[in-house]
Chains A and B, each alone.
With several copies, the nearest count.
Chain A
């Protein structure tokens, strides 16, 4: 299982702050992104950062391991 988290404006557009996605062998971040984008197109209009297991990820080719925590995030507005 992959835990996918959403926060702030993305969570609002998804209508949920966490969903579970079944892990598949050979899965890459871009596969997960594409799958989520298909399910929540409005939310993914504003997604511009991805984090895996608490770290910023720039390379979407990165493989996803089982039990990972992946977060698709919009631009930050803290401070």
Chain B
């Protein structure tokens, strides 16, 4: 639209992401956007009483991306968003690093905030990605939804 090449709205990738870059791509879609809500999930260094050094992600990549695209389309329709973006990292992520990014932009703030909350909740339920916590005592797959 403005001649810049921007990354896809929905992505699964190994590398970290930049909020500034994602927000600027989101905002480029409309000047009617009055509210943008984002959610960033980070790798905590502590989980259920154990210290966690790293988290390793496995994904059913093709289906995960397809489900994330469906989620984006559903959120746009359901909350009348102007645009939305979802990025999820795979591979190994160190403690304190970013894992997932969600952004929802709407004319007003309430739909943007509600859509962002809905998107991260639904992503956890519907998108085939699994995390394994790597601790000094060993590794274990996570099965609950905290």
Contact = CB atoms under 8 A, between A and B. Distances in A.
Q: Do chains A and B touch in the complex (CB under 8 A)?
A: yes
Among B60, B66, B126, B142, the most chain A Cβ lie within 10 Å of the Cβ of B60
Contacts, number: 75
Interface string A8-33: 11011000000000000000000000
Interface of B: 41, 57-60, 62-64, 66, 88, 99-100, 109, 120, 123-132, 141-145
Interface of A: 5, 7-9, 11-12, 46, 49, 51, 54-56, 71, 73-79
Given A7-B58, A78-B57, 16 more contacts: A7-B60, A8-B132, A8-B141, A11-B58, A54-B62, A71-B128, A76-B130, A77-B142, A77-B143, A78-B128, A78-B130, A79-B41, A79-B109, A79-B124, A79-B127, A79-B129
B129 A77 contact: yes
Contact of B141 (A12, A56, A71, A73): A12
